[in-house]
A and B are shown apart, each in its own frame.
Chain A
């Protein structure tokens, strides 16, 4: 099977976010970057599918040259091939989806995996958008997957339960926690990954569909009233929720 995995480079989830000097993006100083956590499920699922059915796994990212670090991590997890579509300035998702589509049209994957969302802009839009550009079906936020008889049977989380979606191949699957347990790269594979080639591609340009005007750190004013565990204070808490906040 020809398996493509789309990954993205994001700040580690423990990062404290500050607004950068341009007032529109984050302050990148001192930030440690990682593969977006959900994308690791995508890589793992791709590798397992290859181990079962044979084929190749290609990891693709759209980003600046610095993004080669996450491709090296993917290579250390033993993907066969890594591709960087170069984009030096921050672009909108439409640009990313179009460029992933351009690449996918050349290599004709049987299935494309990616994380349910990239944990920076948290938009959950890439799977559906890319799928539409490729004329493929997609299933988002998948926590269980079977591939057989030319179709994918995917279980996905919805409000108040789960649904099973059947999709014909080729298709796109966006991965949710629970789908698998991503492997840790082994030391010899990390060493080998350092010297593996990374294919560099020039991007196609698109019109800017979305323009970010500003970024801020939300600061909701909280009441901040601290109580003790005495009976009187717990009565007071119930009173506050009932009479002040009017929630119960």
Chain B
């Protein structure tokens, strides 16, 4: 192995948290393997580049091109390919978010490289990177190695810890002018719609989800008020989404989103295997259910046996008292 390259995404004048997690993962791999690690950002700004330094990344390449003023996955892959070649990097890390999961395999294909997605562990063993990845919606996990010279990985969000070094470092920033034409821009983002005021389950530290036990869309305000007391995002089980009570964007589980928040609160969710698959890597799981034999109680840290219609408002009140939210 020669050099690690990390794909960085800016957010305002900072980097996305998932990018900081990827830098931290690169730092420990680089230390273990005794190789350098650098970052690549597309149309980044000075503050974003500097922010990478707080996580120990001293070298950042800022690739600038006007065709990337609106994001294009095809053009981004082309830029990355050029930078990887010019830097002679052979270990490429992406955050496993919507953008990374779309871009990483395209870059791997350009490099004819092996790719491991959604990794939850990366370590060096006998000079090889051994990656750990959940499969079958987290019901099992595999360890695997990539055989090609160039190796591409994406990292599951909120699994690798982003840690600042607390040391001042001298940054080296290189501006890079990629070679792009309109033909590279076969797909591009033409509009963006934010869920105003609503936190996404994929970005939340705490998630409060409701299941069939909530009995109807009109009762979901209970879940929402508990979520607001925690400062949490609202999630839902498949039953709730299929019944049309909540949008699919909130569905947690095998055919919804896979999440790993610090706290997952399951209200009136029995714990079907498909739901557990989507949240089993949460750090702490709280279950509220009136059926003491519900499978969710077998996988929770704290379980409350009781009717959610009385427990949830009480809990919301007490949490609110503590958090002041």
Tell me if chain B binds chain A: yes
Residues of A near any B CB (own CB < 8 A) = 11, 13-17, 19, 24, 26, 37-38, 92-94, 97, 119-129, 131-133, 136-141, 143, 153, 156-168, 171, 176-178, 207-218, 220, 222-229, 231, 233-235, 237-238, 240-242, 245, 247-248
The CA of A127 and the CA of B117, in the complex, are separated in Å by 13
Residues of chain B within 8 A of A224, CB atoms compared: 297-298, 300-301, 303
Are A241 and B254 closer than 8 Å at their CB atoms? no
Are B135 and A120 closer than 8 Å at their CB atoms? yes
The CA of A144 and the CA of B199, in the complex, are separated in Å by 22
Query: Main secondary structure on chain B at its contact with chain A?
Result: mixed
Q: A177-B248, A217-B141, A225-B301 are in contact. List 8 more A-B contacts (CB 8 A).
A: A17-B136, A125-B117, A153-B190, A160-B200, A209-B115, A209-B147, A216-B143, A225-B302
Are A215 and B200 closer than 8 Å at their CB atoms? no
Residues of B near any A CB (own CB < 8 A) = 73-74, 77, 97-99, 101-106, 108-110, 113-118, 130, 134-148, 186-195, 199-200, 202-203, 206, 230, 248-249, 251, 254-256, 258, 262-263, 272-274, 280-281, 283-286, 292, 297-307, 310-311, 314-315, 318-319, 322-323
State which of B143, B186, B203 has its C-beta within 8 Å of the C-beta of A167. Answer: B186
Are A218 and B138 closer than 8 Å at their CB atoms? yes
Are A207 and B315 closer than 8 Å at their CB atoms? no
The CA of A128 and the CA of B106, in the complex, are separated in Å by 5
Residues of chain A within 8 A of B292, CB atoms compared: 226
- A115 CB to nearest chain B CB (Å): 10
State which of B103, B135, B187, B304 has its C-beta within 8 Å of the C-beta of A121. Answer: B135
Query: Main secondary structure on chain A at its contact with chain B?
Result: mixed
> Nearest chain-A residue to B251 (Cβ)?
A177
- B91 CB to nearest chain A CB (Å): 14
- B234 CB to nearest chain A CB (Å): 13
Are B98 and A213 closer than 8 Å at their CB atoms? no
> Nearest chain-A residue to B242 (Cβ)?
A177
State which of B110, B139, B307 has its C-beta within 8 Å of the C-beta of A217. Answer: B139
- B164 CB to nearest chain A CB (Å): 20
State which of A119, A168, A212, A226 has its C-beta within 8 Å of the C-beta of B136. Answer: A119
Residues of chain B within 8 A of A208, CB atoms compared: 147
Are A157 and B136 closer than 8 Å at their CB atoms? no
The CA of A15 and the CA of B274, in the complex, are separated in Å by 9
10 sampled A-B residue pairs with Cβ under 8 A: A138-B187, A164-B192, A211-B145, A213-B130, A218-B134, A228-B306, A229-B305, A234-B311, A241-B302, A247-B262
